[in-house]
Amino acid sequence: MARRILPVGVVLSFLLAGQAQAARLIATIEGTRNADGYLYVALFSKPDGFPDGNYSVQHTKLKAATETLTVIFDDLVPGTYAVGAYHDENNNGRLDTSLIGYPKEGYALSNGIRAVMSRPRFIDAAFAVGGEGANVTLRIKY
């Protein structure tokens, strides 16, 4: 039986065709009222656990600042995502809430949604990230 040798270019095209294109999401965060504490930013790919950062697919912590901050999430599979951020002003590692569960510290969710009478829903904060990536702006409100 004869073996057929394929040109390198053909082999590479087969290998690359099977790989999903990784996307990049750039999240811009605005409206932090002071530089106390930290900002926690989390990326979610499903409704389970949203918006609790423990259920995020990627997350980061950065020093709070009053100027606009940028967080880049790389190596994403194109799909539906939501982003959440909160300003941990007192640096206790959590989002402080009132007795009824309403946030006492500044926070933002993609699509500008705000929790009023119930927990925010992933579907309301969700947006598409295609192969070319996406940009989202979060405005921290207190």
Q: Which of 130, 23, 32, 128 is nearest to 83 (CA)?
A: 128
Please state the rounded mean pLDDT for residues 128-133. 96
Q: What is the pLDDT of residues 88-120, one digit of tens each?
A: 999 999 999 999 888 999 999 999 999 778 889
Mean of the per-residue pLDDT values of the chain: 89
Please state the rounded mean pLDDT for residues 42-68. 97
CATH numbers and ranges of domains, the chain: 21-139 (2.60.40.10)
Spell out the residues 6+ positions from residue 128 whose beta carbon is closer than 8 angstroms to its own: 78, 79, 80, 134
Cα separation, 45 vs 120, whole angstroms: 15
Cα separation, 106 vs 69, whole angstroms: 15
The half-sphere exposure of 86 on its side-chain side, counting CA atoms within 13 A, is 18
Q: What is the pLDDT of residue 20?
A: 57
Share of the chain above pLDDT 90, in %: 80
